[in-house]
Amino acid sequence: MLILTRKLGENIRIGDRIKIIILDVKGGQVKLGIDAPPNVAVHREEIYERIRDENRRASGISSRALKEVAQIFNKGKRREGEE
Amino acid sequence: MTSAAKENGGPRSGGEVFLPDGLLGFEDLTRFIIVEDSDAHPFCRLQSQDDPEVMFIIVDPTIIYGNDYAVPLAESDRDVLDLASEDVVDTWVLVAPVEGPERFAANLKGPVVLNTRNRVAKQVVVYNPAYAFRHPIRMADTASDRARLKAQVYR
């Protein structure tokens, strides 16, 4: 892994089209500005991790669960119809 | 930005699906098939063709969230899907078991977007704070329903 030390206001370039700007450093927090072309998806790592976790939970499901899900959903639908 | 909200009455099941990037955590599994079971409607199975053990339950998000569920697509997403302006896109969300009385919930933050022309799909990350990682499996077709459901969303 490449490790670079930067001061406030200094930048990092990744290729020709991606620029990362150190906007603020306060306590344990760093505020970054990211200039990237629209074909580059920029997300916090946590959201990927969370979706990965949810995918893993979702994958451990059985065929029987499919019918259960449908039953729960359709029961709720009927109850709403009665109101 | 392109909205991948449902068009032409929502996703249709059936047919093969190719996920070149896989799903997050399942990057090696790229070939899937969407299977509809008549007694499980409106839920379908997203069955891996590479690993018969791997199966996901999926549902049209507009059924449980409402017709205004929309996925903004980045250019990188459009590139993977080879999306042209006339293409029709289907959107599915994954259902997972949860603890508690709800038993199951759908992940509105990580929908799978499918280009119906070439059957290429991609799991997309959506930041919209209105969409939960675990959204209840309930019919939501009116604004009042949605407001009520939103209050029940647990994270």
* Domain residue ranges of chain A, discontinuous segments joined by +: 11-82
C-alpha A33/C-alpha B113 separation (Å) is 29
Query: In 3-state terms, what secondary structure has residue B58?
Result: strand
What is the tally of helices (H) and strands (E) in chain B? 3, 10
| Chain B residue numbers touching A80 (CB-CB < 8 A) | 139
How far is B44 from chain A, CA to nearest CA, in Å? 8
Structure confidence by residue, pLDDT tens digits, B44-86: 999 999 999 999 999 999 999 999 999 999 888 999 999 999 9
SS (H, E, C) chain A: CCCCCCCCCCEEEECCCEEEEEEEEECCEEEEEEECCCCCCCCCHHHHHHHHHHHHHHHECCHHHHHHHHHHHHHHHHHHHHC
**E strand spans, chain B:** 2-3, 16-18, 31-36, 44-48, 55-59, 72-73, 89-97, 104-115, 120-123, 135-136
Do B125 and A77 lie within an 8 Å CB cutoff? no
**Using the beta-carbon criterion (under 8 Å), do A72 and B104 form an inter-chain contact?**
yes
- Residues of chain A in contact with residue B139, where contact means CB-CB under 8 angstroms, are 73, 76-77, 80
Closest B-chain CA to A69? B104
Question: Which distant-in-sequence residues (6+ apart) come within 8 Å of B52 by Cβ?
Answer: none
- Which spans in B14-153 are helix H? 61-64, 75-81, 143-152
For A13-71, how does the pLDDT look when each residue is reduced to its tens digit (9 = 90+)? 999 999 999 999 999 999 999 999 877 878 889 999 999 999 999 998 888 899 999 99
pLDDT score of B130 = 92
- pLDDT score at A59: 94
Q: Tell me, what's the pLDDT at B26?
A: 97
- Residue B96 to residue A61, Cβ atoms within 8 A: yes
On chain A, the residues whose CB falls within 8 A of the CB of B43 are 66, 69-70, 73
Q: How confident is the model at residue A5 (pLDDT cuts 50, 70, 90)?
A: very high
Give every CB contact of residue B63 below 8 A, 6+ residues apart in sequence: B10, B42, B139, B140, B141
Say whether pLDDT at B10 is over 70: no
Model-level ipTM above the cut of 0.85: no
Q: What is the pLDDT of residues B97-120, one digit of tens each?
A: 999 888 999 999 999 999 999 999
pTM of the model: 0.81
